[in-house]
Structure 1
């Protein structure tokens, strides 16, 4: 697997994760793990981190 292919796949996966976090925020979906309800701020952090990693992966894929 080349660096460009890896960066493209990683960027796509992180973009999907960012999209799911955004959908959770917009739609107001609740996430319950065991009996703990995950607060919405966790999705804000996840959105920023996943979107940033997707952006970096896309830039790396274009440069390679």
Structure 2
């Protein structure tokens, strides 16, 4: 039985959107300043990897193909 998992798809979409925002930041060199601190660009590289990986894994789970 294949059950739809809408909340898993929504979470995957949010992580994909976060990865896209980080990719945009890398290509546009957009600076993020929080208080008196500037967030370094390498944080976006990590954000791309983590966001894309989590989105990919959640999509696999929602489809039911989590095996090797």
Structure 2: gaps (5+ residues) = none
Q: Which has the higher helix share?
A: 1
Structure 1: gaps (5+ residues) = none
User: Take 2:41 and 2:4, find their aligned partners in 1: how far apart are those partners?
Assistant: 35
Aligned length: 63
Whose relative contact order is higher, 1 or 2, with alpha carbons under 8 Å and at least 6 apart? 1
| Length-normalised TM-score, structure 2 | 0.86
| Length-normalised TM-score, structure 1 | 0.91
Runs of 4 or more consecutive aligned structure 1 residues displaced over 4 Å after TM superposition: none
| Max Rg structure | 2
- Kindly report the root-mean-square deviation, in angstroms, between the aligned alpha carbons of the 2 structures: 1.6
